[in-house]
């Protein structure tokens, strides 16, 4: 029987820590500020944005939301980013992805001031993560590391498998485990002998985007299993990339879906925005 890693509890602890730091900064006359830009009316994006707004209120941040119509042009969006880059009250800028198809998300990300890029998607911040000299980490991989730390799970010397190679989760996740002296394999949908590779892993991070992809026969006894997936099963029920019913009896630790990695993403966004505010007064 695996121990369930409670993402809600760990995220609450992170937000509490951020709130205490925020109160200390406010006493110095600095209120961390986050601007969230959403284009169009994607329902999932709207839920995320609302949750981010609530988290800002909870920790005491100044927050601004810019809800732009679906037909917003690239030029209009870049003009708004320019304005937020120059705004001293705003320390973090987040453009909610995905953008409508006529907009170029890469150009938008490249336009954000790297010092305000609290998603850590800008090429400059990605490069800093590669060499281990970063201010911000992408929120989901940072949340995974926080979950491992919360249970004192040692990464050093462990065999780690990351299933998934996205720029948002898979690649930075592998780098963070490497920085903690894990021995890391990045696997993906075209990996041969994936089952054998996973069976050799002490820590598995599943971020492949396929419901219940990781089965019990792919996991060795005592492995730590982190499920980054957010999928729907054949009955429309929320599930992850891990077949929880099969894997949980074999793992030593496992994250549930929902209530595992999900709550951590917004908590780490708050942490990144706090870091940006501290950096703005050379406190980072």
The residue extents of the domains of the chain are 29-116, 139-262
Q: Specify the pLDDT at position 284.
A: 59
What is the fold, at CATH topology level, of the domain defined by 29-116? Answer: Rossmann fold (3.40.50)
The correct CATH number of 139-262 out of 3.30.300.30, 3.40.50.720, 1.10.1060.10, 3.20.20.70 is 3.40.50.720
Question: How many angstroms separate the Cα of 79 from the Cα of each of 43, 64, 75, 154, 262?
Answer: 25, 16, 6, 45, 31
Q: Give the pLDDT mean for 58-63.
A: 98
Tens of pLDDT, residue by residue over 105-164, are 999 999 999 999 999 999 999 999 999 999 999 999 999 999 999 999 999 999 999 999
Query: What mean pLDDT comes out for the span 169-182?
Result: 97
**Topology alike, domains 29-116 and 139-262:** yes
Annotated catalytic residues are 52, 96, 119
271/16 Cα distance (integer angstroms): 10
pLDDT of residue 14: 98
Q: What value does the mean pLDDT take over residues 20-25?
A: 97
* 190-211 mean pLDDT: 96
Count other Cβ atoms within 10 Å, centred on residue 190: 7
Q: What is the pLDDT of residue 17?
A: 98
Find the mean pLDDT for residues 50-62: 96
C-alpha 6/C-alpha 255 separation (Å) is 7
pTM greater than 0.85: yes
pLDDT at 283 over 80: no
Q: How far is CA 74 from CA 39, 84, 90, in A?
A: 11, 15, 21
């Amino acid at each position: 029987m695996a121990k369930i890693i409670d993402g809600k509890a760990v995220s609450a602890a992170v937000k509490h820590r951020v709130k205490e730091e925020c109160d200390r900064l406010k006493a110095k006359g600095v209120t961390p500020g986050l601007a969230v830009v959403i284009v169009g009316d994607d329902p999932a994006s709207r839920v995320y944005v609302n949750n981010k707004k609530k988290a800002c209120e909870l920790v005491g941040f100044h927050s601004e939301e810019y809800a732009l119509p679906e037909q917003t042009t690239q030029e209009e969006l870049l003009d708004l980013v320019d304005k937020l880059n120059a705004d001293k009250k705003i320390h973090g800028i987040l453009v909610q992805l995905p953008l409508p198809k006529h907009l170029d998300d890469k150009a938008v990300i490249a336009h954000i001031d790297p010092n305000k890029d609290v998603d850590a998607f800008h090429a400059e911040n990605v490069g800093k993560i590669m060499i281990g000299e970063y201010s911000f980490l992408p929120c989901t991989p940072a949340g995974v590391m926080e979950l491992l730390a919360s249970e004192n799970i040692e990464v050093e010397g462990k065999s780690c498998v990351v299933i998934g190679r996205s720029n948002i989760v898979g690649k930075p996740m592998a780098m963070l485990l490497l920085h903690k002296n894990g021995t890391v394999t990045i696997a993906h949908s075209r990996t041969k002998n994936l089952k054998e590779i996973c069976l050799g892993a002490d820590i598995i991070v599943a971020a492949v985007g396929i419901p219940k992809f990781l089965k019990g026969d792919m996991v060795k006894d005592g492995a730590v299993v982190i499920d980054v997936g957010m999928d729907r099963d054949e009955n429309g029920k929320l599930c992850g990339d891990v077949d929880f019913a099969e894997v949980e009896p074999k793992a030593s630790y496992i994250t549930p879906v929902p209530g595992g990695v999900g709550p951590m993403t917004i908590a780490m966004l708050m942490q990144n925005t706090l870091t940006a505010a501290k950096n703005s007064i050379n406190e980072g």
